[in-house]
Amino acid sequence: MSNTPKQITLQEWDQRYEQLQRAGMHQPDYGGPLGRHVEDGDYRLLKLRYDNSAAALRLWNFLLTEEQRLYQARTRGKKIVGTMKDLGTVPVMAYSLDNLVAFYPDGAWWIPCVMELSAGLLSIADSLGIDESFCPVRAMLGAFVTGAHFPIPDLLTCSVGATCDDFSAIAQRLNSLGYPILWWEIPHRRSPEHNEPAVKLPGGFSAPKCQVEFVKSQLELVKTALEELAGESLDEKKLSAGIQKANQVRAYLAELRQLAFTAKVCPLPALEMLVAEMLAIHFCSDRDETVIVLKELVGEVRSRVKAGKGVLAADAARIFWVNPVADLQVMNLLEDCGGRICGTEYLFSHALDTIPEDLPPTEALARIALADPMVGSSVDRAERICTDIRRFGSEAVLLSRIPGASHCALEGEVITEVVQANVDIPVLEIEVPPVTDSIRPTLRTRLEALVETVIERRKR
């Protein structure tokens, strides 16, 4: 059996699965051939290309069985928390309590893509007055109304203040449909004023101490609600242990990113990297399993890097990707066009930063929440992107606009200007809807042009 790393189709995975089975591959209880998920309506899977490792299989199976996992958790008596618009803070708290499971209802963002619009969630959102002028996260409304994609949570929290208008408005609409929401606030992160006590945040930003204190007070509200739901107190010891576990996940992801983005030959495709990064947000509803999945993936990538093996050509253009893509297939498309991902800012870089372990735990979480690149100015976000561009040696930036997103229209220009001024590399802005089939030729031309520009610049 050949273990040469490569990207394969879903059909090819069936055969590969058999080979791995025969070779004695160990599988968790959610394992199985990837193709079975198409029966659940995940038609987009038929059009993607996947990494052929057993570790990637486990990653995909883990991702695609989240719904079952949530229902099983409920059957086992666990309480379910839907943590909306908060990328990687409240889940750390929730998973510190034994009988809570947290998930991220905003993840419904990808359902229209994965199910190729067949689930009808966008039409339901339309019927509730949330049309295509909103970002694809509107699919979440449909998911709540149908109850078909995740169990209705026992507690819903939503971070507001410095969030996008899309989500804030949609969450309010959800609330008006009879879903109670615990709103908590993260203020817009500002620079500390002259002589104002300041705090350095994970990831490099700084904020006034009073803002950290404020977010701390908000997290205390959330903590109380979680404790009531769990019927158990969330003391510092438990929360600190939860932070350590979250940091284990983040440490694997840090290593994975460093290896994947800096290796001579790209060891893991963009799509698998995107899925792996997303695990940091809410651990795909099973924190312990997330650690195992990432450990395997890191192991695979380590051995590939050591052997100098990878999935793409060694001269692939090194692209830094900004914002997640609504259509996953576009990640494959970039690779088809001769690019590879070397750096990402998928709106949640703070969920990849190490949470300080030498601080009182709520303070540490307040700092990480305020480190969210989206709660500060677009200039801050652009500067963080520049830092990572230098670190990973990216040769161009691809800004993928999210249709309807309130932050995209004005931030693109700022990010472009800051990147060009600071690191002088080309920036391309594209818009990616949930299903790109009709605009694929245009997208391809633009991505090819970017790759060609990068190759040309190497000759300078």
Partner 1 sequence: MKTIIYTCPYVPAEWIAAHGLRPSRIIPDAAGSTGPVVPIEGVCPYVRGFVNEVITGTQASAVVVTTVCDQMRRAFDIVVRKGKLAAFLMNVPSTWQSVAAQKLYLDELKRLGRFLIGLGGESPSTDALVKIMLEYDTARTSILAARGYLTSRRYSEAIARFNRDGKSGITRDITDKKPLTDGIPLLIIGGPLLREDFEILDVVENSGGRIVLDATETGERGMCAKFDRRRLRDDPLMELANAYFGGIQDAFRRPNSELYNWLKREIAARGARGIVFHRYVWCDIWHAELRRLKDCIDLPVLDIDTAGDNETYKHRTENRIRVFLEMLQ
Q: Which residues of this chain interact with partner 1, rule CB under 8 A?
A: 128-130, 133-134, 158, 160-166, 168-173, 175-176, 181, 183-185, 187-188, 190, 193, 210, 214, 217-218, 221, 377-379, 404-411, 413-414, 417
Please identify, using beta-carbon distances, which residue of 365 and 451 lies nearer to partner 1. 365
Binding residue for ligand SF4, selected from 407, 427, 432, 435, defined by CB under 6 A: 407
Q: Which does 158 bind (CB under 5 to 8 A by kind): ligand SF4, partner 1, none?
A: partner 1
CB 417 within 8 A of CB 446: no
Q: Which of 324, 350, 347 is nearest to 271 (CA)?
A: 324
CB 192 within 8 A of CB 208: yes
Please identify, using beta-carbon distances, which residue of 176 and 438 lies nearer to partner 1. 176
What end-to-end distance do the CA atoms of the chain give, in Å?
43
Measured CA to CA, the distance from residue 20 to residue 13 in angstroms comes to 10
Please identify, using beta-carbon distances, which residue of 43 and 179 lies nearer to partner 1. 179
Name which of residues 292 to 351 contact ligand SF4 (CB under 6 A): 347
CB 30 within 8 A of CB 66: no
Please identify, using beta-carbon distances, which residue of 339 and 433 lies nearer to partner 1. 433
Please identify, using beta-carbon distances, which residue of 248 and 406 lies nearer to partner 1. 406
Token couple for 36: 């079975």
DSSP-assigned states of every residue in 50-61: EE-SHHHHHHHH
Binding residue for ligand SF4, selected from 95, 103, 167, 321, defined by CB under 6 A: 167
The per-residue b/e assignment along 171-191, b for 16 or more CB within 10 angstroms, e otherwise, is bebbeeeebebbbbebbebbe
Please identify, using beta-carbon distances, which residue of 8 and 210 lies nearer to partner 1. 210
Please identify, using beta-carbon distances, which residue of 140 and 312 lies nearer to ligand SF4. 140
Q: Which does 4 bind (CB under 5 to 8 A by kind): ligand SF4, partner 1, none?
A: none
Q: How many CB atoms lie within 10 A of CB 42?
A: 21
Asked if 250 interacts with ligand SF4 (CB under 6 A), we say no
Q: Which stretch binds ligand SF4 (CB under 6 A): 50-58, 59-67, 199-207, 399-407?
A: 399-407
Give min distance, CB of 316 to partner 1, in A.
31
Q: Which does 137 bind (CB under 5 to 8 A by kind): partner 1, ligand SF4, none?
A: ligand SF4
Please identify, using beta-carbon distances, which residue of 158 and 301 lies nearer to partner 1. 158
Helices 54-64 and 66-75 cross at an angle (nearest 10°) of 60
Q: Which does 422 bind (CB under 5 to 8 A by kind): partner 1, ligand SF4, none?
A: none
Name which of residues 63 to 102 contact ligand SF4 (CB under 6 A): none
Q: Which does 347 bind (CB under 5 to 8 A by kind): partner 1, ligand SF4, none?
A: ligand SF4
Name which of residues 125 to 154 contact ligand SF4 (CB under 6 A): 135, 137
For strands 50-51 and 7-8, give the pairing. Answer: antiparallel
DSSP-assigned states of every residue in 223-250: HHHHHHHHTS---HHHHHHHHHHHHHHH
Q: Which of 210, 186, 188 is nearest to 198 (CA)?
A: 210
CB 218 within 8 A of CB 264: no
Please identify, using beta-carbon distances, which residue of 257 and 401 lies nearer to ligand SF4. 401
Q: Which does 162 bind (CB under 5 to 8 A by kind): partner 1, ligand SF4, none?
A: partner 1
Tell me which long-range contacts 411-416 makes (C-beta under 8 A, separation of at least 24).
411/378, 411/381, 414/378, 414/379, 414/382, 415/322, 415/378, 415/381, 415/382, 415/385
Q: Which stretch binds ligand SF4 (CB under 6 A): 63-71, 184-192, 288-296, 403-411?
A: 403-411
Q: Residue count at the site for ligand SF4 (CB under 6 A)? A: 11
Please identify, using beta-carbon distances, which residue of 162 and 297 lies nearer to ligand SF4. 162
27 DSSP 8-state letter: -
Measured CA to CA, the distance from residue 85 to residue 82 in angstroms comes to 10
Binding residue for ligand SF4, selected from 59, 139, 164, 219, defined by CB under 6 A: 164
Give min distance, CB of 117 to ligand SF4, in A.
17
Q: Which residues of the chain form contacts with ligand SF4 (CB under 6 A)? A: 106, 135, 137, 164, 166-167, 347, 402, 405-407
